[in-house]
């Protein structure tokens, strides 16, 4: 089983390959169909002009009519013979049928130049369509032109054949498309697998390394705590300062390893899904009042707009961590004398959790990146505030663990809104 980003990438690559193959197949089908059709048409045009010459010679020799009675009756082949300047009709073989009448009423569309042809598309009053190839050529007796012979060939058969060919081509294209989709899927998998394997190894390494670091860190923290609490110790001021530094850095390191472990678990989709009922109102009020003390220290005002009786299924510890991350960020990136608002409410089947601040805000470019691991807009500022660049990655993992979503919006006139939507029940 691949992890989510790769699943998504594979789906996107498959869709891309399928779209490319689909477009290519369609272009090939369209080109093949157009080519076949134009070849047939060019061939028929040439043939019809040649036939007119042939029928003209026979007319001169024996006055044999160009079309047989059967051809006129079925409307397969019709003819119209006029003198050289077109003022007199020598022979009208358009017949008495609807096709002949239609051709007559479209006389203006007939080809005008000798030895040319034209496709005529007509529709009778009762909706019947007629498609004829019309050509005109001179009838020559010795070296004198005695007339102009128009011949009309019914193209219905060719149109039907062309539609059948197109249908067949499209069926083949559809089958080819499915094969191409499968091929695209296979190709995407083949391309992504090595990257995914490398990524999995890297994840495993992070998970193992952070797990292995926990015990030595815990021992270090205990040792440092022991040193700090040892009343008989005769440590110099410098040593005491070093012990304090050790304590704060080991705290920081242990937070980092905990966060890395949680993220590694979330990558492997093994973050547990809790179905316990959590009293969100109580949880938010508890976290907000704890954070209020910190806010007051930083001369910030933390306002609470928390609806009563809000409950949802979830992991209480993780949800409390989510709130702390968002509120902590709001405080870290706000200046003194500004207000932070925590608003929690139920909207239909979801809980909406909003943390608004009036701080420095986040540019549109950075909004895309702040959920990336170790991304910090201002590294120096974030570090000085104790930031590791993992808070929002963790927040995102927690929100996803609960089947929700998180967005960053601009607060007007300044600041940021972190907008979290969580379903109240686990699916
Ligand atoms: P950090 O531990 O550095 O705060 P986060 O993952 O929590 O890491 O946040 C990533 C970056 O997003 C921060 O370094 C900061 O630049 C930016 N950021 C997060 N929240 C806010 C906020 N409320 N206002 C302004 N910038 C923020």
> How far from the centroid of its chain's Cα atoms is residue 302's Cα?
41
Nearest CA to ligand 1 atom 12: 370
Residues 6+ apart with CB under 8 A from 131: 119, 120, 121, 122, 154, 155, 156, 159
DSSP conformational letter for 328 = H
Instruction: For residue 334, give the ligand 1 atom closest to its CA.
Output: 24
Instruction: Decide: 55 in ligand 1 pocket, CB within 6 A.
Output: no
CA of 7 to the centre of ligand 1 (A): 28
Quick one: pLDDT at residue 8? 83
Q: How far apart are CA 28 and CA 238, in angstroms?
A: 80
The response to whether residue 329 sits with its C-beta less than 6 Å from ligand 1 reads: yes
DSSP string, 339-372: EEEEEEEEETTEEEEEEE--SS---HHHHTTTTS
Enumerate the β-bridge partners of residue 77: 153
Token pair 């032109």: residue: 145
Using one digit for the tens of pLDDT, what is the confidence trace for 54-80? 999 999 999 999 999 999 999 999 999
pLDDT digits (tens, 9 = 90+) for 134-147: 999 999 998 899 99
Residue 100 in contact with ligand 1 by CB distance below 6 A? no
**Distance from the CA of 392 to the center of ligand 1, in angstroms?**
7
Alpha helix segments (H runs only) across 107-236:
156-229
Q: How far is the CA of 365 from the centre of ligand 1 (A)?
A: 14
Q: Is the CB of 397 under 6 A from ligand 1?
A: no
Per this entry, what is the length of the chain? Answer: 427
> CA nearest 288: which of 345, 358, 351, 355?
355
pLDDT value, residue 138: 95
Which two structure tokens, joined as six digits, stand for 291? 């954070």
**Low-confidence stretches of the chain (pLDDT beneath 70):** 1-4, 269-273, 381-386, 427
Question: Measured from the CB, is residue 375 less than 6 Å from ligand 1?
Answer: yes
Write down the pLDDT at residue 4.
66
Output the pLDDT for position 360.
Answer: 92
Q: How much is the pLDDT for 233?
A: 74
Distance 329 CA to ligand 1 centre (A): 6
Distances from the Cα of 49 to the Cα of 1, 71, 139, angstroms = 68, 18, 11
Please report the pLDDT score of residue 338 as a whole number. Answer: 95
358 lines ligand 1 (CB under 6 A): no
pLDDT of residue 62: 92
395 C-beta closer than 6 A to ligand 1: no
Predicted confidence at residue 50, as pLDDT, reads 96
Going from the Cα of 9 to the center of ligand 1, the distance in angstroms, rounded, reads 27
Strand partners, 81: 91, 149
Contact 392 CB / ligand 1 (< 6 Å): yes
359 lines ligand 1 (CB under 6 A): yes
With a CB cutoff of 8 Å and minimum separation 6, the contacts of 311 are 277, 278, 279, 280, 281, 424
pLDDT of residue 382: 65
The reported pLDDT for the residue numbered 427 is: 66
* Gap between the terminal Cα atoms of the chain: 21
How many Å lie between the centroid of ligand 1 and the Cα of residue 107?
Answer: 79
* 387 touches ligand 1 (CB under 6 Å): yes
pLDDT digits (tens, 9 = 90+) for 251-307: 888 888 888 888 887 777 666 667 789 999 999 999 999 999 999 999 999 999 999
Residue 292 has, within 13 A of its CA and on its CB side, a CA count of 11
The DSSP-derived string for 99-123 is HHHHHHHTGGGS--STTEEEEEEEE
Which two tokens mark 304? 């609470």
Mutate to test the pocket of ligand 1, among 382, 383, 419 (most ligand atoms within 8 A of CB): 382
pTM for this prediction:
0.60
Q: How far apart, in whole angstroms, are the C-alpha atoms of residue 209 and residue 189?
A: 29
Question: Which tokens belong to 85?
Answer: 């300047």
């Amino acid at each position: 089983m691949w992890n989510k980003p790769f699943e998504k990438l594979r789906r996107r690559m498959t869709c891309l390959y399928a779209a490319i193959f689909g477009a290519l197949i369609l272009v090939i089908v369209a080109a093949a169909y157009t080519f076949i059709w134009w070849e047939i048409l060019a061939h028929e045009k040439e043939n019809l002009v040649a036939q007119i010459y042939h029928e003209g010679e026979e007319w001169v020799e024996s006055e044999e009519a160009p079309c047989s009675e059967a051809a006129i009756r079925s409307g397969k082949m019709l003819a119209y013979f006029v003198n050289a300047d077109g003022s007199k009709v020598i022979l009208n073989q358009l017949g008495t049928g609807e096709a002949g009448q239609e051709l007559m009423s479209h006389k203006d569309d007939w080809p005008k130049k000798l030895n040319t042809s034209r496709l005529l598309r007509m529709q009778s009053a009762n909706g019947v369509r007629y498609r004829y190839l019309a050509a005109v050529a001179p009838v020559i007796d010795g070296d004198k032109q005695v007339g102009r012979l128009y011949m009309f060939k019914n193209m219905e058969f060719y149109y039907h054949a062309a539609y059948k060919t197109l249908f067949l081509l499209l069926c083949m294209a559809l089958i080819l498309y499915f094969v191409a989709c499968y091929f695209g899927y296979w190709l995407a998998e083949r391309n992504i697998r090595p990257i995914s394997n490398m990524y999995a190894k890297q994840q495993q390494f992070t998970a193992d390394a952070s797990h292995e670091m926990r015990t030595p860190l815990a021992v270090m923290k205990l040792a440092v705590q022991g040193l700090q609490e040892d009343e008989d110790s005769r440590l110099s001021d410098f040593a005491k300062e070093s012990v304090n530094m050790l304590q704060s850095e080991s705290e920081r390191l242990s937070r980092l390893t905990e966060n890395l472990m949680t993220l590694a678990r979330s990558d492997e989709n093994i973050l547990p899904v809790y179905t316990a009922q959590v009293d969100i109102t109580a949880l938010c009020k508890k976290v907000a009042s704890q954070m209020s003390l910190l806010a007051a220290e930083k001369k910030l005002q933390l306002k609470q707009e928390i609806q009563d009786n809000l409950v949802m299924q979830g992991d209480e510890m993780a949800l409390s961590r989510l709130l702390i991350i968002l509120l902590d960020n709001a405080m870290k990136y706000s200046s003194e004398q500004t207000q932070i608002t925590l608003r929690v409410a139920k909207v239909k089947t979801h809980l909406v959790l909003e943390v608004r601040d009036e701080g420095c805000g986040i540019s549109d470019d950075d909004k895309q990146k702040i959920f990336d691991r170790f991304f910090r807009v201002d590294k120096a500022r974030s570090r000085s505030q104790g930031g590791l660049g993992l808070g929002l990655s963790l927040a995102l993992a927690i929100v996803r663990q609960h089947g929700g979503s998180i967005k960053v919006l601009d607060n007007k006139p300044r600041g940021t809104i972190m907008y979290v939507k969580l379903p109240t029940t686990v699916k």
